[in-house]
Structure 1
């Protein structure tokens, strides 16, 4: 066994927005399972506006305008940023990932042991933790939470289920010890225990109906509790009394400062920015470039942090024409000007995609040579593949125009504008990109039925195993491809590799192979862009660029 250091209390917390560093992990297992997480575009609430008042002021209500409706409030089932903004405040995880270094640190577990073959992870739980209903955290809650993800939740919790692939059981030798057992090496699991998807819920919640959990039947150990959730409208959470187990990356111990957070849904970016300027909101999500002057002109600022994981991509359904033709997929890779997408539609907080992993993800390998904009090369590829230019500029083969439909849901406010510009770029090489906007439920239905040409999405995670989740034929497999002897073996092998350098090499090969086969067309790296009023302080991002409100506070009159 390899033993981590025990949890310790730090008298003075440092800001989670400190400059990125690369300090060594405290033990061999951390070095084996975590790579340093380099950050870009990171600004704290006080870094741009000068020092805040010396003492945070407890109390007050923070009004937050979301750009899209939350899917629900169950941390194990939701996946969108707006959903996690709410759900993360209700539940904690076994471990925490430092947002500056990527290091895995204690949270609900004060220490852990990992077997040499990466199949057994033993967590020693922190004493004194309770759920919002007053019941104590025990190893039975850990077992029930993971059993539910691997069992009844299943497809309704795709991220959480993928993190528990190969899960056999959780052993409970005593109430403070939980050993999670897998049937094969699982190098990604320790980092997975820091994610909201594997947050620990009470045993009663774990056994509840999944649909009821999604609508609000959730009991966690987080710094806030749910007061109300209204589908498609928003949620209200209130401070929980007696919260004493914040992770080390937090700025303070003890209860959250805010009394209450009111989340409302305001789809129009300009309306959100205007509401911030006119004191209708204290914070707003998805601030677009054209809204920044209004936010800053009213004394506010925009906080940004790049998301790790899979950037926004177009993933092709390779089972039907025209994307069953690998040459068409190759042409798409070089037919899009990613820098123009960022410069025209987005902002400096965003970066053009240079791989199928975002550049802030441990294990990222720069594949920009494969994605360099080259419309002449794209045209030549299509010419050689027999696609000839028709009278309207759209290419034709065997009497069929080169029409490709992209299915998307606007969970990110700028998605429509990005895809419209991409369509203009592709039309210049003779490809007619048709936009098909769906609701989240409709897109899920399309995914399950395979009724799409290109599936537009991103997914955030600060671990390279997210590639296995999205591109392995045994996992989500949005390309609907058959198992192969190239991508699948690489993704499987990295899961069992404890040596970080060797694992990075496998992940780099996987990124290259995914692009070689045209299994994704990367567009841009998502960045969180949050507008806050000048009297709002302490709003923080976690390692996955999701918001944390434990340290947030508002200056009181």
Structure 2
């Protein structure tokens, strides 16, 4: 959407200030209206690119696309450094052993156009998402929704009933699905087609002041009448840069990702502060066992693990800024990580023994990035020594993602985040039977023990008991190797604390720039 100017949004917001705020005694209590300090506006500049129009139906699935949308739209819950916290909902209750969720909706919240947000808007949002799935639809398991009923049960209360309990549903319902205004979206049959400023009216702490898709630029401006914590940052700008570190040094960016080889330029300089993100982003090698049935042999999959020097990948691809992947999938810093799972030391001789003299050739699809190209080069060399030959095929990221989703590959490298999330991600990645409702990314693979444990942890309400089940599940995954995590990355970021020092990580995410709370005043 090139050259998209949001004049109408500005008019809407200005009208709101002129009409609503002048009569705040009737509509918004003065104590609830947070105005941003206009004496010294704080502008934060981030690396940009075109990540789509940030409505729930048009944002990109890559980069900051989702989190740009989160700046405009609030959910019932939010994430801080430790877990889920109240947001549009002041409180919640889990009822009937996880079969229903009762949310108490906050009073005196206004949309960007001045309209009051109500429980009816909340109910409408979920009903609308069930009919018109957003880009990131977290209300489904496999191909079907897990929501049974959505109802308003009091003046400011809403209950969502689900088809069966699941320990991960609170986050999916409360945080991932953002609330949209009924008065705008009601009657819109094709939400992707709504691309005028009305599509961006939310209740979040920022409005979109300007967006140019062709140039890859965004300008978010603090919403002065935001119900919640006062925005500490007045303006967030995203601008495309070819060399982020150079742009940071020139003052064109306020935070930049840096590699270990340039750390010394910043570490001992009091002007800068360096932080390291948690290892919740990484690269996985996926096996398609339908296209290549020999991959159903566990010995062949284990041979891949023994043949690849993961520590070498961390040093040569990540320059030491990462950790070898866990055979049980959850990284070492995940709170549910099991340190007793089977380990696979680099052992090419063991790999050859497991292959029993066989020589195998596979086509490996990869996205065309510097990291994945280098990774493919190194594992190709390692695997050849064990008797496995790779023919590497390179595609642009979008094409590679689509080929992976459609199963059009033999082997593929998947670059993903989210490794810090609820351990139910093990079910979503590896389970394959109807009882566990997994949306398997391991095509052609099935294991009854994994399926049973995945289904069991899903409905276990006791945290300690669930932890033990998750430990067993990791042990099974480590033994079976239905997919291979090559490494998890721990990037470095540098910023100038004298300008802004509010960068925080959500408890399960690897970019401080993506946290809404980064830009808001904290107690």
What TM-score, normalized by structure 2, do the two folds share? 0.79
Match of 2:505 in 1: 541
Match of 2:475 in 1: 512
1:287 and 1:302 in contact (8 A); partners too: no
Provide, for residues 274-293 of structure 1, a one-character-per-residue CA deviation record: whole Å limited to 9, x for no partner.
11112222223x43223434
Distance 1:201 1:343 in 2: 45
Is 1:433 matched up with 2:390? yes
2:296 and 2:445 in contact (8 A); partners too: no
* 1:427 Cα deviation from its structure 2 partner: 3.0
User: CA 1:362 to 1:138, structure 2 compared with 1: closer, same or farther past 3 Å?
Assistant: farther
* 1:402 Cα deviation from its structure 2 partner: 1.9
Worse-matched range after superposition: 292-301 or 347-356: 292-301
Match of 1:111 in 2: 91
Distance 2:138 2:72 in 1: 18
Is 1:73 matched up with 2:42? no
2:80 and 2:505 in contact (8 A); partners too: no
User: CA 1:509 to 1:282, structure 2 compared with 1: closer, same or farther past 3 Å?
Assistant: same
Is 1:459 matched up with 2:440? no
Match of 1:316 in 2: 287
Match of 1:490 among 447, 450, 453: 453
Distance 2:145 2:429 in 1: 13
Worse-matched range after superposition: 175-184 or 364-373: 364-373
Match of 2:232 in 1: 257
Worse-matched range after superposition: 317-326 or 162-171: 162-171
Match of 1:200 in 2: 179
Distance 2:494 2:195 in 1: 28
Aligned 1:219-238 pairs, distance under 5 A: 219-231=201-213, 233-238=216-221
* 1:162 Cα deviation from its structure 2 partner: 4.3
Aligned 1:441-452 pairs, distance under 5 A: 441-452=398-409
SS state of the match for residue 251, structure 2? coil
Is 1:157 matched up with 2:139? no
Is 1:241 matched up with 2:224? yes
* 1:362 Cα deviation from its structure 2 partner: 3.7
Higher helix share: 2
Is 1:371 matched up with 2:309? no
Match of 1:61 among 43, 50, 53: 43
SS state of the match for residue 313, structure 2? helix
Distance 1:213 1:431 in 2: 50
Match of 1:283 among 236, 240, 255: 255
What TM-score, normalized by structure 1, do the two folds share? 0.75
Worse-matched range after superposition: 427-436 or 181-190: 427-436
Structure 2 unpaired stretches of 5+: 1-36
* 1:408 Cα deviation from its structure 2 partner: 3.1
1:362 and 1:463 in contact (8 A); partners too: no
Structure 1 unpaired stretches of 5+: 1-54, 246-252, 388-395
Larger Rg: 2
Worse-matched range after superposition: 493-502 or 416-425: 416-425
SS state of the match for residue 451, structure 1? coil
Worse-matched range after superposition: 159-168 or 443-452: 159-168
Distance 2:468 2:417 in 1: 22
* 1:357 Cα deviation from its structure 2 partner: 1.3
User: CA 1:364 to 1:551, structure 2 compared with 1: closer, same or farther past 3 Å?
Assistant: closer
* 1:107 Cα deviation from its structure 2 partner: 1.4
Distance 1:213 1:471 in 2: 36
* 1:57 Cα deviation from its structure 2 partner: 8.3
User: CA 1:61 to 1:185, structure 2 compared with 1: closer, same or farther past 3 Å?
Assistant: same
Aligned 1:49-198 pairs, distance under 5 A: 58-66=40-48, 69-70=50-51, 73-74=54-55, 79-99=61-81, 101-102=82-83, 104-153=84-133, 156-159=135-138, 161-162=140-141, 165-193=145-173, 195=175, 197-198=176-177
Provide, for residues 321-379 of structure 1, a one-character-per-residue CA deviation record: whole Å limited to 9, x for no partner.
25344332111122222222222322555222223112333422236633332222112
User: CA 1:74 to 1:436, structure 2 compared with 1: closer, same or farther past 3 Å?
Assistant: farther
